[in-house]
Amino acid sequence: MTPRLAQRAIVEIAAAWRDQDPDAETRAELDRLIADATAGDSAAEAQLHDRFDTRLEFGTAGLRGRIEAGSNRMNRVLVAQAAAGLAAFLLGKGDNPSVVIGYDGRKNSQVFATDTAELMVGAGVRAIILPRLLPTPVLAFAVRHLGVSAGVMVTASHNPPQDNGYKVYLGGDDDGSQIVPPADGEIAAQILRVAAEQNVLELPRSTDYETAGEDVLDEYVRLTAALAGPSSAPVTYVYTAMHGVGWETARRVFIDAGFGEPVIVAKQIQPDADFPTVNFPNPEEPGAMDLSFATATEVDAELVIANDPDADRLAVGIPDPDGGWQRLSGNEVGALLGWRMAERLSVARELSVAREFSVAGQVSAAAPHGVLAASIVSSPALAAVASHYRLDYADTLTGFKWVSRVPGLFYGYEEALGYLVDPDKIRDKDGISAAVEFIAMVADLKAEGKTLEEHRLAFAETFGAFASDQISVRVSDLADIPRIMDRLRATPPEMIGDVPVRLIDDFADGFEQFPPSNILRIWLDDGSRVIVRPSGTEPKVKVYLDASSTDGSALERQDKAQAAVDALGAGVRKLLADA
């Protein structure tokens, strides 16, 4: 842990930060805390320590944190240091660097984006800012579409309302993907250099940045709508933007795709930085989709489509047999979309081979090739789909920055509601493109006289049934996380519940193609799997449970897989309690 600074030192550090802060609100915060701490208020001093004993670490997820004053918070000083550090990194990589900048509807997002643009131009980097608040997928698309060196998206995605963040993409050889090592470390080093050597008020600025034209959004909409193909049966569907920025773009895409206007969740459709109707603006959280389900019941909808606030994730709701609604898990959506994509690739291959044999004397191009990929904590279902169609499959580390970089990627997903259905257009998860594919799938099934529930049963009949669950152990002391992982390594379990452990893969020193990571993957004798890892963004240890079945009918397979996961969950909870 970072050593705790003495009172006088922490007050001096806070005062130096305040004196370079261009934001009146956060300056006033520090004025109050400094005055109270100097007067002996222990709570104020503790606040200063919390804000200044360390700083938000710039990593492969960029920056993300609470909007307040201090080096361990998101604010204009920290963003200025990040922008200047990123500019220095880009200038060191080649001549004429450029960056495109996007922002969502959270507090200070436009301010942080404008600061970044001005500081980039002041440093000698060409800067283009998107014309207004837009989804993260549009920014990720713009990096490739505009051929720039980098992209910055100011967003905290589905974090709590008081948070904001700073996500970085790289162009060129990185093809518009999010940063990974060693680039993240190189950028972080430049940011720390700026923080140590420069007052952000003295950094050169310029308002000579460019504003992107509407053609960027138009082209994203055109390419995304085209994923749907010819229209089939009409589908009545509900859409929510979860108080985020997805609606304008998603509506245009849905209409151009031939789906017609969705029924909207009116209270959640416009950007609102307070997220007033949800406790946590994440479609995975209990209750977050209640308004969507109520709206769907009122209009007798067939489907609910939900984007998270920056629209890079997709959640899907479907009717329950008992008349209610349920949210499909990320693994269920990922597997169904994977099946659709695998069929598409398989048909393309067959057509290519047929053309090769039907055109005498003509040398055709190689059959279409593509890889299906998922993060290692996602369900094994996609690997089963790939095997069935004799397609290549790849596991990646957790995070879409890894999924998007798989060579030859045709489709990729991660269980946390992230899907990439069009890697030729974008190299990041895209909740709007994925929604198009899912709505089109439901429409195609309807045109064939089939329901989505029947399609889910057909999946279990074809590939087996797969069930998943997740357990999170939240800690108050971050030191508990390595303690839990160390105990599991020192005393590895021989049984989980009533099932013997067959094998444990420890990624600590690297495993197979993976670099060193704090991950344990536990295989059980019945074929089920448990993965344990610390969360990358929250004070949690996360455990992923997976089981499958190929015995009996489709319904029996589903029941057996779910029973295995339920038993696995009970065993893991006992194991973690003992740890």
Give the residue numbers annotated as catalytic, written as ranges: 157
For residue 441, the Cα-to-chain-centroid distance in whole angstroms is 23
CA distance 98 to 93: 11
CA distance linking residue 328 with residue 350, whole number of Å: 32
3-state helix, strand, coil in the chain (%, to 5): 40, 20, 35
Rounded to an integer, what is the distance from CA 228 to the centroid of its chain?
23
The answer to whether residues 255 and 221 touch, using CB atoms and an 8 Å cutoff, is no
Q: Which two tokens stand for residue 56?
A: 């938000």
* Tokens coding 158: 């589905």
- The two tokens of residue 380 are 């094994």
State the Cα–Cα distance between residues 450 and 233, nearest whole angstrom. Answer: 11
Output the six-digit token pair for 137: 């997928």
Q: How far apart are CA 170 and CA 17, in angstroms?
A: 30
Q: What is the C-alpha separation between 509 and 109, in angstroms, rounded?
A: 39
CA–CA dist 62, 179 (Å, integer): 8
The residues pairing with 559 across neighbouring beta strands, listed in sequence order, are none
Residue closest to 571 by CA, chosen among 518, 515, 532? 532
Closest CA to 177 of 155, 150, 146: 150
Q: What is the CA radius of gyration of the chain?
A: 25
- Between strands 392-396 and 163-170, the pairing is unpaired
Report the distance separating Cα 461 and Cα 454, nearest Å.
10
Tell me phi and psi for residue 353, to 5 degrees. Answer: -65, -40
Q: Show Cβ contacts of residue 92 under 8 Å, excluding neighbours closer than 6 positions.
A: none
The distance of Cα 165 from the centroid of its chain, to the nearest Å, equals 13
Between vectors from CA 450 to CA 445 and to CA 455, what angle results, nearest 5°?
A: 80
Asked if 168 and 178 touch (Cβ cutoff 8 Å), the reply is yes
DSSP string spanning 440-474?
HHHHHHHHTT--HHHHHHHHHHHH-EEEEEEEEEE
The helix (H) or strand (E) run that includes residue 150 is: strand 150-154
Q: Are 240 and 289 in contact (CB under 8 A)?
A: yes
Burial 20-47 (b: 16+ CB within 10 A, else e): bbebeebbebbeebbebbeeeeeebbeb
* Contact predicate 312/139, CB 8 Å: no
Are the beta carbons of 22 and 201 closer than 8 angstroms?
yes
Phi, psi angles (nearest 5°) of residue 398: -65, 140
CA distance 563 to 579: 24
